[in-house]
Amino acid sequence: MDRSARLASLRRIIETNKVASQDMLLKLLQDEGYIVTQATLSRDLKHLKVGKIPDGKGGYLYTYSDSANKGGSDKSLAEDFKRGYIGIDFSGNMAVVKTLPRHASTVAFAIDNLHIKEIVGTVAGDDTILILPKDGVKRQELIHSLKSRIPGFTENL
Amino acid sequence: MDRSARLASLRRIIETNKVASQDMLLKLLQDEGYIVTQATLSRDLKHLKVGKIPDGKGGYLYTYSDSANKGGSDKSLAEDFKRGYIGIDFSGNMAVVKTLPRHASTVAFAIDNLHIKEIVGTVAGDDTILILPKDGVKRQELIHSLKSRIPGFTENL
DNA sequence: CATAACATTGTAAAAATATACAGTATTATA
DNA sequence: TATAATACTGTATATTTTTACAATGTTATG
């Protein structure tokens, strides 16, 4: 099942490109290997609460508005996290999160946007994320901070 | 000239109602006495940078996003000004601007962001704005500075 | 005044977007 | 296992939105 990976790509595409129509989005998705119909894309956009607004230069622009997604965001971020999460390990002071294939960027995005104060940032590959803890944060403190922000989080499944 | 008044109403309608389609907006505008075609409405929405966004409850919603209109160009700021502006008067060294109901904050925002050097700042109520001129700036100088930055500005309508 | 440039609008049509419906697959439940 | 409930999708269509074009009016300019 590819839907959540597709949604993650879609979000990234919209956040990093100026796209004026669903047809154009369809092509960009295609470039990443996702072949769907316009109908499905329309549904995906609705799911992500992506809006279409005039760009002030005579055209239109699809936008992923954080504010539109703010309400209840922690909840859906935690869901994003759990959807892809497999397990966590440590290497030196860094945490290594394993995810389902292609889910790394979505999970990392969720971590970033939960704004956990013990975490400085993340780096995501395809199924692996590096979490960079703030200076002096111990492994157990990091685990605890994740537990406190992601209901049902456990160290390993 | 009805257009700017219509745009003001349109904006207020959108800010205070949950509207799902242009047809619905058309009816609300009608209720206020503005009879236009859907084509004109579409153009108006483009002008105001009003977007259509999924509401998270299965429907869609027209939204006037401040952020979309934030980095307003001088041109659109001047338009905001003129859309709400009624007249200007003086009290002591301060200028008192009257606006359409509820337009004070928009007009004041426009004045602030035009960064007129003769103006220190503004205070806005609901339909009234106080402009605080810089020390030593005379009434006529203030008027002149407004004229120079807001095409078509006149002291009273 | 005449003419040009610009602004606003409706009509009609094109283009873009949303969705009803049906089909498939997956998961849950008796 | 059989049945029901849920999730996801494509097809075809309906709905919605945008725009080309022409008409009208307004403002600027010679």
pLDDT at A67: 57
Q: Would the pTM count as exceeding 0.75?
A: no
The proportion of chain A whose per-residue pLDDT surpasses 70, expressed as a percent, equals 91
The answer to whether position A80 is within a domain reads yes
In angstroms, the CA A142 to CA A112 distance is 14
The answer to whether position A55 is within a domain reads yes
Q: The domain that contains B39 carries what CATH number?
A: 1.10.10.10
* Chain B 8-47 residues in 7 Å CB range of strand C: 35-40, 43-44
User: What is the block-wise mean pLDDT of chain B (157 residues), using blocks of 10 residues?
Assistant: 81 90 94 92 94 91 72 66 84 86 78 84 84 90 86 71
B56 and B89 in a common domain: no
The proportion of chain A whose per-residue pLDDT surpasses 90, expressed as a percent, equals 32
pLDDT at A39: 95
The answer to whether position B156 is within a domain reads no
Q: The domain that contains A84 carries what CATH number?
A: 3.30.1360.40
- The number of distinct structural domains making up chain A is 2
Decide the pairing of beta strands B94-99 and B85-91: antiparallel
CB nearest to A65's CB, from B53, B73, B76: B53
Tokens 């109908």 belong to: A39
| Residue where a domain terminates, one of A23, A46, A66 | A66
A56–B49 C-beta distance less than 8 A = yes
A124 and A93 in a common domain: yes
- DSSP sequence for A4-54: HHHHHHHHHHHHHS----HHHHHHHHHHTT----HHHHHHHHHHHTEEEEE
Distance in angstroms: CA B4, C1' C6: 17
Q: How confident is the model at residue A71 (pLDDT cuts 50, 70, 90)?
A: very low
Q: In chain A, what residues touch B7 (CB-CB under 8 Å)?
A: none
* Structural tokens at position A62: 């699809």
Q: In chain B, what residues touch A7 (CB-CB under 8 Å)?
A: none
In angstroms, the CA B100 to CA B90 distance is 18
In angstroms, the CA B65 to CA B51 distance is 8
CA of B43: nucleotide with nearest C1': D18
Instruction: Name all protein residues with C-beta less than 7 A from any atom of nucleic acid chain D.
Output: A 1-3, 6, 35-40, 43-44, 52, 59-60; B 21-23, 38-39, 42-43, 45-46, 52, 60
The answer to whether position B154 is within a domain reads no
pLDDT at A139: 92
On whether the CB atoms of residues B80 and A65 are closer than 8 A, the answer is no
| Residue where a domain terminates, one of B46, B66, B86 | B66
A83 and A61 in a common domain: no
Range of the domain at B119: 72-149
Range with the poorest average pLDDT among A7-16, A23-32, A44-53, A68-77: A68-77
pLDDT at B66: 54
A22 and A61 in a common domain: yes
| Residue where a domain terminates, one of A14, A32, A66 | A66
